[in-house]
Amino acid sequence: MAKRNILKFGDPTLRMTSREVSEITPRIITLLDDMIETMRAAGGCGLAAPQVGVLRRIAVIEVDEGTVYELINPRIISFAGEQREQEGCLSNPGEFGITKRPKVVVVRALNRNGEEYELRGTDLLARAICHECDHLDGKLYTDVQIKRG
């Protein structure tokens, strides 16, 4: 595993749309492992592949220590409710804003073994799922920010 550099706001890669993963190769597994190490080293609860310069539809999330969700080709399939909370980003360290996100989200994705699964998240996990999926489409939390925190 290796810690990767996290791109900062202003880097044009963060505004690009990521490509689907067609095959889970050893390089994809290495990327997942590196992303987890990078996210933890930076003190974050989520990281998307574009943030480390890789335009692939991959994200990792860890809102509860020791429980990592690996999302390959994630698609949000349902959402409900609303939450307005402070949100930040490892690509914009030290900055925060209040965003409006769903309170509950269900995402369908593949795991590192290529198995499809669904993950239901509420509160922080729902917010993290939305945040990381947005990164895969070239969107940043500042695009849904309702006020600076």
Which residues are the active-site residues?
Answer: 132
Asked whether the beta carbons of 6 and 44 are under 8 A apart, the reply is no
Could you give the CA distance from residue 110 to residue 58 in angstroms, rounded to a whole number?
9
Could you give the CA distance from residue 85 to residue 53 in angstroms, rounded to a whole number?
27
